[in-house]
Structure 1
Amino acid sequence: PHLEDKKHVFLSAPTGSGKTAASLYAALKHAYEYNLRVFFATARTTQQLMAEETVERMAQKGIPIRAVSIRAKEKICLHHEVRCLPDVCPYAAGYFDKLQRNNTLQSSWSMHDSRGDLWPDKIIRIAEEQYICPHALSLDLASMADVVIGDFNYLFDPSVRLSMVSAEPQKWMVIVDEAHNLPERAMGYGSPRISLRLVWRALEGTRGTDFAQPLEELYSYMLDQLSESKEKEWSFEIADVDSKIFQKWVTAFESLAVRYAQVTQERTFFSEDEGDLWTDVARTIFRFSAIFSQAKDETLVLYTKGYLDRKLKSSDQLALFSRWKPKDEHTSLALLNRDPSGILGPVFKDFHSSIIMSATLEPMEYYRNMFGIPQMHRIEVRTPSYFPQEHRASFVIPSISTAYRDRERDREKTAMIIGDIISSTPGNIAVFFPSFAYLEQVVPLIDCTREKVLQQKRGLSERDRHELLETMKKGEGHTLFGVMGGIFSEGVDLPDKALCCAVMVGPCLPQANYARRKIQEWNEKKYQKGFAYAWLVPGLARVSQAAGRVIRTPTDKGTIILLGKRFASKNMKEFLPKELILQTTYNIKPELQSFWKTHSGN
């Protein structure tokens, strides 16, 4: 009934409670009755896979569904480089002619099997057979689908929002999965950044041509602004900056764009590895200007000064350009969005209805504020955990500090405690750290008697991630070392013996920096919740998600361990799931041995 009233339902339900299947069933039922379409929005590929599996099961039971899953172009591109230009990529060349000649859009739905779901592997096979772009094909097929599964970006990022959604948003029912991730992501959409080094590199390649003129002006403006302060980072209120400056550069790039495209048919200004830096700067300026024009007082104009080296020699006549060059990517001009409600609220207002769901939508007050949905259009549903409480034991070990300044001092003791947990747990264990740096600092010191150790590496490929997950699902007594907020701590299903214990080493608070302090200032001024909204809620949501990997079915048994004295503080416990009944211990081995003795064989 809530969906019929065109409401937006905030659904807080424990991990493993069947949110994906329940929400898809309810949405599809309503969509068929009212001639609507469903978009299942996720933050990660693993969540897309779970949604695909759910749709497949529905289709197998006879529900007629046309469904498409959209992957990022980088993940399904068939060319050796991701450059979607007909003169560069043979899969993009003649794309529409090939579609029409092969009747691809109609035939794809029945080309490989009788079901109406087109997942990335099928789309890639079709694209290979017809020598067309798989990403473009997935977008065109999505325009014919009842259900579309894709990243948050396709709905909420102004620069990549799908035209089929923005053209008729009232015809879409939206399911936002793992919605606790959306506020931080949306703030990123409202925080574009112009790197001085990118501008400098584009200027290096186009010097002596008309195409260098807007780059010279932009570079000169940024250097002038950076010389205004001796600080490394500083900001201005949005109202104190003249928007005409950015619009001037948009006009300048637009006036040159057609001629630039013609000229680059015959010659290139940059190496193949560099790509098209002039176009990269132009797109960045277009996005920056568009977001600047819509921004209000929640947004700051932010300057960051990295390293500038004197350039020893240059024949260029532009004085500023001759004098300085940026040494790294840190020197930049950016916008800093501190409150995503102005981005998300108007988008949700236009949808027919939505289900906004997660196991970590608490405190609900925070998500009400961040999503910007008025009370009259909002319904809040909380589902208690139906898993037996006696199947889970949750502990806080406050005997070490995980604060950044104390990590080196306490790392040996931290490693010893983790070793005790591993030796006292008869099954798979996941140990999650707040960062790769901290993981790499502690893991080498752990006395891990097991040979079956798995470790999440930086930049892990999708194939390696899949293999690691499949290994864990076998339940053969592995220890996984990973990071909170990463691929293994959210949106993955590890039922039964796939995970018997999750250890969270410290709260996963956001990195302390100038921007985060400005976010805290805004939240204190507007909501009187500065520290909680800027640090605790986003950080402890990651802890809660990692903890939720343990109990996935009513028969699962396991332990959850929060390591570090900050977890014992009252203000942190307030933002952890209520079903976690935490026991404080300074000696974890006998606690675990007692728990598993009681539950072994049950």
Structure 2
Amino acid sequence: MTNIVKISVRHLVEYVFRSGSIESGGFRTSTPLTDGTKAHQKIQKTYTSSDQKEVYLKTVIPYETITMHVDGRADGLLFQEDGLVIVDEIKSTSRALVTITEETYPVHWAQAVFYAYIYAKDRELAQMTIQLTYVHVRTEEQKQFQRIMTLPELESFIMEVVSQYAAYAKAKTQHIVDRNSSSKELVFPFEVYREGQHKLAGSVYKTILDKKVLFAKASTGIGKTISTIFPAIKSIGEGNLQRIFYLTAKTITRTAAEDAFRLLIANGLDMKVVTITAKDKICFQEETICTAEHCPFADGYYDRINGAILDIFENESLMSRAVIEAYARKHRVCPFEFSLDLAYTADAVICDYNYIFDPRVSLKRLIEDQKKQSVLLVDEAHNLVERAREMYSAVLLKSSFLQVQKAYKDINAAVAKAAKAVNVCLAEKRKQENIAEKQLDEDLAVLVEKFTEVAEEELVQNVESNQLLLDTYFAASAFAKICRLYDKRFVSYVEVNKSEVMIKLFCLDPSYLLQQMGKGFRSKVFFSATLAPADYYKNLLGGTEDDYVLSIPSPFVHENAEVLVQPLSTRYRDRERTLLPMVQFIRDVLNKQKGNFMIFFPSYDYMNKAFEAFKTEAPDVKTIVQETGMSEELRENFLTAFEPSGDERLVGFAVLGGVFSEGVDLKGDRLCGVMVVGVGLPQIGFERDIIKDYFTNEGYSGFDYAYVYPGMNKVLQAGGRLIRSEADHGTIVLIDDRFLQPKYQKLFPEEWRHYKVVN
């Protein structure tokens, strides 16, 4: 059987002709697409009436056992009086045109030659003229190169390109056949569904079938990971999907997703799954400097990457961090860039939210080409609200521009001048401290945009530009991007600290941008055990009236968990007064209950004070305390300490909303009780109050949106650490009098509503 391979001209030639090294600290030009489009349009306006622009071309190329269906758009077809036809390929650049020669970018020639071949073959032309037109995005200066090629020369070139792609194409097409058949035949990996599990899986399948969005609250213990992944895989088998993105914010939930895929692969699934690990975590070097001079894995990366991809693709299914690292060392390629390149060929990608939703780092190539056949499975979706606020906010520091101004005074006058302009503008904002401005400072936005342009030119021209300029460029580029997104859902404000001036573009409501970044995907599934209240999350995550909403209660009987409420005030003003009574209460509960406990506090300071008091009240109890900035090894040691209860119990002191209050799975006797101190309200502050005022003005309960809902979500997550399976039993203790207020009680899950009040 002949396998059909569909690919764009651009992606085909980029695969075959990529070469060289990763340069400039991972620097990528950030010139907005609109700037490139404007440059294209300006040149296209000079075409004559007989010329054509944005010409769609396609062809079919048989090669051995595969048939290539290749298409793309030529920027221009120029028709000469002598009958010759010119294919014009326009490329916008920040690079000084004097440094670009005819041989600088073979990939650009390849793209233009491909268009020339398709056009000449279809019209039986003897020869074509290929023209590359480079245009500088800032100066609009142009430079052109031309070549004339006969049809046989064009065909010979194209067949050589196809031959270099064929090995990967054959492996990929055969894999898709195997993937689809194994997905269709795959059965659920457990003998029975847990209560609620079949309903969740069915809802996810229907959501994908109907091309809809689902908001699912599924209580702890249902098995959310397998219940979302399995129906997505079945959808691939039915031909409704090509790719799954499993998005999560935490390493521990990433591991759960890997485990689910590993189980399904062991049960016969043929699927390529890639996990993307953050660059600073997976980098092999002590210092992350992505240049050929500093890193052997960046040096010649593009010369070796195709071989590395083909090797891992033919030999591995689950490409976890460890697997990617092993192949990266084998082929001497950067493990982070390797994982990104693998993401474009994988069937499933496990990654952080930002690779989809952050406009500054998203997988743009993949998104634009394949999102119509992709589903987003957004795990622990309650975390996405605050993460999105961070993604869509940006900060500038005056000091960075002052340092660049001084450093480049004698190196690059244009960079120094642009940095000085931003520095002066920020200095003039000292008097605007802590004032929330609704309007964007357009003058500052223009100055920052100008700085990114000249800084980009310097970085493109001089690979060895210093780290200061690179860091400041990245900050300015991020700021400029957010300036272009700025609307009524933002405010800007200034903070002053001695000589430092900081300006922040602060996103209050991320719903619109989440909606825009998620546009075009076939389906999205937002799920969490604590996606409540549903209207709040649906509103802030960009939901609409047409979206599906699902709520599944706990599959475990209420008797599994005893819920106690101790109405003792833990408000900030009362903490000193109630500290000792609270610690004595904790001691008394522990004396009556067996097994290991975790106690969650709203801050490190409060936790440490309670811990010191507890050691005095219960000196014989074995304890362990969360510390700030714990490494992954220390976190693992913390959790490993919770052994099945024997003669000695362990009491862990941890911070609410921290790494141990979410995604931690201590089953059976490893954890017998959880105590939560306080209702988790975020600390009252300037930003929170701005959020409160914004949503109040929008007609919602601003205090609930800014404080109550985010706080109670932390409480619910911490409480969810306890009952993880049918065999788990234990005690949940809620310490605060506010837990008896209707505002908070209506947020209790069904399984907490049989609580008892204790004195």
What TM-score, normalized by structure 1, do the two folds share?
Answer: 0.87
Tell whether 2:205 aligns with 1:6. no
What whole-Å deviation, never above 9, does each CA across 1:464-519 have from its counterpart, x for those lacking one? 11222233254453211111111111012111112111111112112211111010
Tell whether 2:449 aligns with 1:250. yes
Give the equivalent residue in structure 2 for 1:67.
273
Give the equivalent residue in structure 1 for 2:392.
190
Q: Following the alignment from structure 2 to structure 1, what is the Cα–Cα distance between the partners of residues 652 and 710?
A: 23
Matches within 5 A, 1:48-87: 48-87=254-293
Shift of 1:386: 1.7
Shift of 1:521: 0.8
Q: Following the alignment from structure 1 to structure 2, what is the Cα–Cα distance between the partners of residues 451 and 87?
A: 55
1:395–1:582 Cα contact (<8 Å) kept: no
Cα distance change of structure 1 residues 224 and 501 upon mapping to structure 2, 3 Å threshold: same
Give the equivalent residue in structure 1 for 2:669.
497
What whole-Å deviation, never above 9, does each CA across 1:141-162 have from its counterpart, x for those lacking one? 1211111101111111111111
Q: Following the alignment from structure 2 to structure 1, what is the Cα–Cα distance between the partners of residues 475 and 651?
A: 43
Aligned partner of 1:224 among 420, 428, 440: 428
Tell whether 2:743 aligns with 1:571. yes
Shift of 1:529: 1.4
Tell me which amino acid in the other structure corresponds to 1:181.
Answer: N
Q: Following the alignment from structure 1 to structure 2, what is the Cα–Cα distance between the partners of residues 192 and 42?
A: 22
Q: Following the alignment from structure 2 to structure 1, what is the Cα–Cα distance between the partners of residues 662 and 638?
A: 15
Shift of 1:99: 2.2
Shift of 1:215: 1.8
Q: Following the alignment from structure 2 to structure 1, what is the Cα–Cα distance between the partners of residues 579 and 366?
A: 50
CA RMSD of aligned residues (A): 1.9
Give the equivalent residue in structure 2 for 1:595.
none
Aligned partner of 1:29 among 224, 230, 234: 234
Cα distance change of structure 1 residues 344 and 138 upon mapping to structure 2, 3 Å threshold: same
Give the equivalent residue in structure 2 for 1:295.
486
Aligned partner of 1:279 among 452, 470, 475: 470
Q: Following the alignment from structure 2 to structure 1, what is the Cα–Cα distance between the partners of residues 495 and 749?
A: 37
Q: Which runs of 5+ in 1 are unaligned?
A: 270-275, 309-324, 588-602
Give the equivalent residue in structure 2 for 1:385.
554
Tell me which amino acid in the other structure corresponds to 1:220.
Answer: V
Secondary structure, aligned partner of 1:254? helix
Aligned partner of 1:127 among 328, 331, 336: 328
1:422–1:448 Cα contact (<8 Å) kept: no
Q: Which runs of 5+ in 2 are unaligned?
A: 1-205
Tell whether 2:701 aligns with 1:529. yes
The number of residue pairs the alignment matches comes to 546
Larger RCO of the pair (alpha carbons < 8 Å, separation 6+): 1
Aligned partner of 2:377 among 175, 182, 185: 175
Shift of 1:576: 2.6
Tell whether 2:578 aligns with 1:410. yes
Shift of 1:463: 1.4
Give the equivalent residue in structure 1 for 2:589.
421
Give the equivalent residue in structure 2 for 1:486.
658
Q: Following the alignment from structure 2 to structure 1, what is the Cα–Cα distance between the partners of residues 207 and 424?
A: 55
2:241–2:375 Cα contact (<8 Å) kept: no
Deviates most, 282-291 or 363-372? 282-291
Matches within 5 A, 1:335-354: 335-354=505-524
Where does structure 1 differ by over 6 angstroms across 4 or more consecutive aligned residues?
none
From the CA coordinates, give the structure whose radius of gyration is larger.
2
Tell whether 2:597 aligns with 1:395. no
Percent identical residues: 30
Tell me which amino acid in the other structure corresponds to 1:66.
Answer: K
Shift of 1:7: 0.7
Matches within 5 A, 1:101-112: 103-111=307-315
Q: Following the alignment from structure 2 to structure 1, what is the Cα–Cα distance between the partners of residues 283 and 384?
A: 26
Q: Following the alignment from structure 2 to structure 1, what is the Cα–Cα distance between the partners of residues 332 and 263?
A: 31
Tell me which amino acid in the other structure corresponds to 1:42.
Answer: T
Tell me which amino acid in the other structure corresponds to 2:422.
Answer: L
Q: Following the alignment from structure 1 to structure 2, what is the Cα–Cα distance between the partners of residues 149 and 473?
A: 30
Q: Following the alignment from structure 1 to structure 2, what is the Cα–Cα distance between the partners of residues 505 and 204?
A: 51
1:69–1:149 Cα contact (<8 Å) kept: yes
Shift of 1:347: 2.6
Shift of 1:262: 4.2
Tell me which amino acid in the other structure corresponds to 1:62.
Answer: G
Secondary structure, aligned partner of 1:351? coil
Q: Following the alignment from structure 1 to structure 2, what is the Cα–Cα distance between the partners of residues 134 and 576?
A: 44
Matches within 5 A, 1:500-511: 500-511=672-683
Q: Following the alignment from structure 2 to structure 1, what is the Cα–Cα distance between the partners of residues 346 and 645?
A: 38
Shift of 1:424: 2.7
Q: Following the alignment from structure 1 to structure 2, what is the Cα–Cα distance between the partners of residues 391 and 472?
A: 20
2:389–2:510 Cα contact (<8 Å) kept: yes
Shift of 1:258: 2.9
Q: Following the alignment from structure 1 to structure 2, what is the Cα–Cα distance between the partners of residues 302 and 7?
A: 38
Give the equivalent residue in structure 1 for 2:598.
430
Q: Following the alignment from structure 2 to structure 1, what is the Cα–Cα distance between the partners of residues 528 and 545?
A: 19
Tell me which amino acid in the other structure corresponds to 1:465.
Answer: R
Deviates most, 347-356 or 419-428? 419-428
What whole-Å deviation, never above 9, does each CA across 1:508-548 have from its counterpart, x for those lacking one? 11221111101001111113211111111111001100100
Q: Following the alignment from structure 1 to structure 2, what is the Cα–Cα distance between the partners of residues 165 and 333?
A: 33
Secondary structure, aligned partner of 1:87? coil
What TM-score, normalized by structure 2, do the two folds share?
Answer: 0.69
1:109–1:118 Cα contact (<8 Å) kept: no
Tell whether 2:357 aligns with 1:151. no
Shift of 1:247: 2.9
Shift of 1:582: 5.0
Secondary structure, aligned partner of 1:40? strand
Cα distance change of structure 1 residues 204 and 422 upon mapping to structure 2, 3 Å threshold: farther
What whole-Å deviation, never above 9, does each CA across 1:24-60 have from its counterpart, x for those lacking one? 0011111232242000000101100011011100110
1:250–1:282 Cα contact (<8 Å) kept: no
Q: Following the alignment from structure 1 to structure 2, what is the Cα–Cα distance between the partners of residues 473 and 43?
A: 26
Tell me which amino acid in the other structure corresponds to 1:19.
Answer: K
Aligned partner of 1:550 among 694, 699, 722: 722
Secondary structure, aligned partner of 1:303? strand
Q: Following the alignment from structure 2 to structure 1, what is the Cα–Cα distance between the partners of residues 292 and 715?
A: 45
Give the equivalent residue in structure 2 for 1:214.
418
2:356–2:518 Cα contact (<8 Å) kept: no
Q: Following the alignment from structure 1 to structure 2, what is the Cα–Cα distance between the partners of residues 563 and 49?
A: 32
Give the equivalent residue in structure 1 for 2:752.
580
Q: Following the alignment from structure 1 to structure 2, what is the Cα–Cα distance between the partners of residues 177 and 290?
A: 27
Cα distance change of structure 1 residues 156 and 413 upon mapping to structure 2, 3 Å threshold: same
